[in-house]
């Protein structure tokens, strides 16, 4: 095939990927309104097809460039979207994650639309970066970011559910303290009787917080753990491969480049989460907040260094000031 055909394939893959993500997101929204299993399954398949379509676009672009196409912010967002979709589809097949598909879909759409607004010209690379290492060092890192993003969404989901359940429990305790024993409830036929019925229901179900945690809360907590457990080794592999590449190219494994340093900080942050989770002495709410902080480190590593540069060899799409 000639260059024009590869360009056409690249554009078709990107356009088809965008349309598929939009369709999958719409189906996840419909699933929230009409919870039918076939809607969720179809939406998940569509998201998987979107990832494949975007992969084809990146492959065609890489063939045109004659190197792995990751030299500007457009390409970075495209590949990050692929990582997010792949990570989500993997997690979705493990768990039936409530209200996660539409959130991931909307973020993927934002990334694709924003990426499409940026310059899409293929940027030449300096000689040291035109290496086979580029194709094996970068994908594990960006796939790990996808898993960490899924973990972030599930952590936010847990915090929302937990906050609502804590509020419901507080209101129930307040009602019980205001309407104790037989007093007002016995006179009016409500109040104390209502609280007694509430207490009986909680006793039979294991309590409000227990019921919540064995429902959506438990799913969100487990998804956060599984996503981070998948992303952590991928990030570690990416960092190690980067060090090996640096040694081959520049003669030293580590140079404290801003992105290198932030990748290490992010790795340590998620290592803290895994240690706390396996230790078993910390509440799911605390762990959810640690996951959120970890995602802020991911944003600083990817978005911060890329957009503001900080003199990093790893920056692309930097904002001119």
pLDDT at 119: 83
The CA-based dihedral angle spanning residues 75, 107, 47, 67, taken in that order and rounded to the nearest 10 degrees:
10
- Report the distance separating Cα 207 and Cα 29, nearest Å: 31
Range of the domain at 164: 3-123+130-308
**Of 255, 281, 13, nearest in space to 263 by CA:** 255
Is the per-residue pLDDT at 180 higher than 80? no
In the chain, the number of structural domains is 1
- Average pLDDT for the chain: 81
Residue 150: CB atoms within 10 Å: 28
Task: Let me know if residue 249 belongs to a domain.
Answer: yes
**Has residue 278 been placed in a domain?**
yes
- Terminal CA-CA length for the chain: 41
Kindly state whether residue 254 falls inside one of the protein's structural domains: yes
Helices (H), the chain: 3-33, 37-65, 73-94, 101-116, 133-178, 183-188, 192-205, 208-213, 216-250, 258-279, 284-299, 305-308
Rounded to whole angstroms, what are the CA distances from 272 to 132, 182, 307? Answer: 32, 50, 27
In-domain check, residue 317: no
Per-residue confidence (pLDDT) for residue 22, from 0 to 100: 97
The answer as to whether 138 is a domain residue is: yes
* 313 domain residue, yes or no: no
Residue 316 within a domain: no
What is the per-residue pLDDT for 295? Answer: 96
In this structure, of 64-73, 204-213, 228-237, 269-278, the range with the lowest mean pLDDT score is: 204-213
Instruction: Specify if 168 maps to a domain.
Output: yes
């Amino acid at each position: 095939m000639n260059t024009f055909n590869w360009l056409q394939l690249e554009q078709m893959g990107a356009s088809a990927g965008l349309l598929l993500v939009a369709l999958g997101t719409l189906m996840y929204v419909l699933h929230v309104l009409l919870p039918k299993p076939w809607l969720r399954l179809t939406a998940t398949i569509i998201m998987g097809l979107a990832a494949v379509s975007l992969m084809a676009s990146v492959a065609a672009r890489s063939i045109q460039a004659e190197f792995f196409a990751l030299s500007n912010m457009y390409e970075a967002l495209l590949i990050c979207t692929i990582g997010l979709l792949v990570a989500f589809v993997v997690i979705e097949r493990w768990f039936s994650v409530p209200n996660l598909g539409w959130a991931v879909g909307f973020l993927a759409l934002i990334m694709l639309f924003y990426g499409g607004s940026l310059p899409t010209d293929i940027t030449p690379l300096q000689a040291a970066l035109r290496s086979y290492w580029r194709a094996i060092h970068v994908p594990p890192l960006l796939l790990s970011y996808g898993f960490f993003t899924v973990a972030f969404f599930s952590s936010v989901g847990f915090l929302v559910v937990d906050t609502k359940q804590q509020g419901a429990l507080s209101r129930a305790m307040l009602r019980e303290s205001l309407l104790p024993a037989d007093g007002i409830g016995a006179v009016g036929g409500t109040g104390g009787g209502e609280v007694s019925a509430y207490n009986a229901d909680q006793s039979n179900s294991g309590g409000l917080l227990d019921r919540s945690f064995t429902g959506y809360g438990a799913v969100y907590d487990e998804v956060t753990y599984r996503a981070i457990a998948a992303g952590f080794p991928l990030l570690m592999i990416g960092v190690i491969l980067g060090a090996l590449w640096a040694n081959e190219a520049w003669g030293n494994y580590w140079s404290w480049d801003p992105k290198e340093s932030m990748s290490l900080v992010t790795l340590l942050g998620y290592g803290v989460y895994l240690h706390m989770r396996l230790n078993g002495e910390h509440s799911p709410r605390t762990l959810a907040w640690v996951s959120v902080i970890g995602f802020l480190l991911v944003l600083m590593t990817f978005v911060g260094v890329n957009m503001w540069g900080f003199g990093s060899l790893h920056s692309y799409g930097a904002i001119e000031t």
